[in-house]
Amino acid sequence: MPFLMVRGDIAKMRTDAVVIPAAGAGQPHKIRLALCRAIMRKSFGSSAPSIIYVIVPAWTDDRNKREQLLEKAYRSALRLAVKNDLRSIAFPLLSSGNTRFAQEEAFRIARSVITAVVRREELSVYLVLQDHDPFIISHELSTALTSYIAVHEPKQRQMSSAVSRLSEFVLEADEASLDESLEDLLSCRQETFSQKLLSLIDQKDYRDAEVYHRANLDRRHFAKIRSNPAYAPKKNTVLALCIALRLDLQESEDLLRRAGYAFSPCSHADLIVRYFIEHGRYDIFDINEALFYHDLPLLGQ
């Protein structure tokens, strides 16, 4: 199931439950929990019908201990969500405020625990960062992506020249080719996007669950794709499935084309995904971190 990062107010998240640190200011005094344990209560004044309270650990110089405790806090809340058959849950970045956990450390722990759960459970998880919260990716990756985008992004002069050449090509096109009948075109139809997708899954001997989990999609979404040969996906869904299927650049371009899309050199999101494909890096959560860092839409649900 999907794991997505968003910015905003967690109280406005329309999920089955939101997670709140019980030790935070304004929380009910009646809530008394053991460290890292979670409890669920009905919500009042929140968009979510339920609230899961969890006691989060404070900073300690013992790195192993503090990380284990924070992992336990996430697992406790996630376990409670699964036990109660919730379909979606939203977390803040636990222990990243006054408890002195560095943002990078708090995020690394959150991602590690959450992604392990969404890969095996039917639960959508949102990590909600406030608008002013910083988000950092490695300097090495940031530099590599900046360089890749600079090299592959078309310059204005190059675009003008390309448009001019395209105009000349259209004007000089062979009239005979323009007379090609619709019947001839339809007779050459290839597999649709959905048909090609299922063919690739069979060729690679993947299970459906393996594919939709790696694509950051939920089971219901994937079922719609499988059941409809004429399914028209969004572009980021196609890109997510290219990543899940471990397609190379040529294979990815072919799957995109069957859905009516192509990699655009003018799209930073497309260039970032293309960078990861060209470098054989198929972890969709790594890609989504890079997209989130650049304030771009994430892949998946």
Whether residues 110 and 249 fall in one domain: no
- Domain membership of residue 21 (yes or no) is yes
Whether residues 19 and 116 fall in one domain: yes
Whether residues 147 and 93 fall in one domain: no
- The residue ranking higher by pLDDT, 14 or 46, is 14
- Which residues, 6+ apart, have CB-to-CB distance to 118 below 8 Å? 1, 2, 3, 124, 125, 213
Separation between Cα atoms, residue 72 and residue 35, nearest integer Å: 9
- Domain membership of residue 162 (yes or no) is no
Whether residues 116 and 196 fall in one domain: no
Mean pLDDT for 78-107 is 87
Whether residues 7 and 58 fall in one domain: yes
CATH number of the domain that 68 lies in? 3.40.220.10
Whether residues 18 and 37 fall in one domain: yes
- At residue 158, does pLDDT exceed 90? no
Domain hosting residue 266, numbered range: 139-154+191-293
Total structural domains in the chain?
A: 2
Whether residues 12 and 70 fall in one domain: yes
Whether residues 125 and 203 fall in one domain: no
The winner for highest mean pLDDT among 40-44, 141-145, 276-280 is: 276-280
The number of beta carbons lying within 10 Å of the beta carbon of residue 217 is: 24
Separation between Cα atoms, residue 296 and residue 152, nearest integer Å: 18
- Domain membership of residue 92 (yes or no) is yes
pLDDT band at 138 (very low <50, low <70, confident <90, very high): confident
- The residue ranking higher by pLDDT, 5 or 161, is 5
Mean pLDDT across the chain, nearest whole number? 85
Separation between Cα atoms, residue 231 and residue 12, nearest integer Å: 32
Mean pLDDT for 282-293 is 96
According to the model, what pLDDT value does residue 262 have? 96
According to the model, what pLDDT value does residue 97 have? 66
Whether residues 95 and 143 fall in one domain: no
- Domain membership of residue 124 (yes or no) is yes
Whether residues 197 and 270 fall in one domain: yes
- Phi, psi torsion values for 70, nearest 5 degrees: -70, -40
According to the model, what pLDDT value does residue 27 have? 46
Mean pLDDT for 147-169 is 66
- Domain membership of residue 178 (yes or no) is no
Whether residues 123 and 143 fall in one domain: no
- Domain membership of residue 174 (yes or no) is no
